[in-house]
């Protein structure tokens, strides 16, 4: 690989642009491919196969060839409501996984940049904050404030927009009350039951990093069920 190619790859990675690295395993030539474009020269006849790798989110060698394709696809968007202590550990764990985190918290003293360097923190109420974030069925929501006036509007938004993972922090009792409120707001039992509450897989831990670990473990597991 040419140093120039490596530098270009790093640039694409830091701007989180989708791309693929194409390598000819026979002669060592490599090239960067942008989805939707036509590769040049020796890679030109493999456009369809390369696009297939993008669609299946996989890496591999194109059949009956010596061309290796490595795709970089957009990270999964994870929205955290509540810039609390647990969120700080979630940010740490998410760094080495393919998750891109945004945090919503209307409480300015929580949502400070100093507590969350390098993370998009939106210091607004969920309803206004969601206007700033593009979301779809590939988005996950983690509600951590256990304050109904902050969490509930976010949970309702996530249910309506069919996020693939919705989790809410709080005791069993807190969650029962939450389900009751969502039911009164017109959500079906199926929708309400799709919320992971109390959030996280059972690890037994009670500290902030332990709870964050149990949440991120559940999120990874649900991501693979997609």
Partner 1 sequence: MKNSFDEKILDEAQDWIKANQKVVLATVIQTWGSSPRQVGSRMIVNEKGDFSGSVSGGCVESAVVSECLSLIKDKKPCKKIEFKVSNESAWEVGLACGGEIAVYIEQIH
Which residues neighbour 83 within 8 Å (Cβ) at sequence distance 6 or greater? Answer: 103, 105, 107, 110, 111, 112, 115, 116, 121
DSSP letter assigned to residue 125: -
Binding of partner 1 at residue 34 (CB under 8 A)?
no
Q: How many secondary structure helices (H) and strands (E) does the chain include? A: 8, 9
Binding of partner 1 at residue 7 (CB under 8 A)?
yes
Q: Which of 35, 208, 220, 222 binds partner 1 (CB under 8 A)?
A: 220
Binding of partner 1 at residue 222 (CB under 8 A)?
no
Q: Which of 51, 52, 65, 75 binds partner 1 (CB under 8 A)?
A: 75
Query: What gap in Å lies between CA 210 and CA 216, rounded to an integer?
Result: 10
Residue 61 has phi, psi (to 5 degrees) of -90, 130
Q: Which range of residues in 85-93, 95-103, 123-131, 135-143 is near partner 1 by CB under 8 A?
A: 95-103
70 or 191: whose CB is closer to partner 1? 70
73 or 179: whose CB is closer to partner 1? 73
Estimate the share of the chain in helix, then strand, then coil, as percent rounded to the nearest 5.
40, 20, 40
Interface residues with partner 1 (CB under 8 A) are 1-3, 6-7, 9-10, 13-14, 16, 23, 25, 27-28, 30, 57-61, 68, 70-73, 75, 95-98, 220, 223
């Amino acid at each position: 690989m040419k140093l120039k190619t490596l530098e270009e790859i790093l640039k694409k990675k830091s701007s989180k642009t989708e791309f693929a690295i194409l390598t000819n395993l026979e002669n060592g030539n490599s090239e960067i491919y942008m989805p939707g474009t036509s590769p040049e020269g020796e890679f030109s006849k493999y456009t369809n196969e390369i696009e297939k790798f993008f669609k299946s989110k996989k890496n591999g060698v194109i059949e009956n060839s010596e061309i290796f394709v490595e795709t970089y696809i957009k990270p999964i968007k994870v929205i955290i409501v509540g810039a609390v202590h647990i969120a700080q550990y979630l940010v740490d764990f998410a760094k080495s996984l393919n998750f891109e985190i945004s945090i919503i918290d209307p409480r300015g003293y929580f949502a400070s940049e100093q507590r969350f360097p390098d993370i998009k923190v939106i210091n607004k109420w969920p309803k206004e904050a969601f206007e700033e974030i593009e979301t779809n069925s590939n988005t996950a929501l983690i509600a951590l404030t256990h304050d109904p006036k902050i969490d509930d509007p976010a949970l309702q938004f996530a249910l309506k927009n069919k996020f693939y993972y919705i989790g809410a922090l709080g005791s069993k009792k807190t969650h029962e009350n939450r389900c009751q409120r969502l039911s009164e707001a017109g959500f079906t039992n199926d929708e309400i039951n799709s919320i992971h509450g109390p959030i996280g897989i059972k690890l037994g831990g009670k500290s902030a990093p332990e709870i964050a670990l149990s949440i991120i473990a559940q999120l990874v597991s649900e991501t693979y069920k997609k």
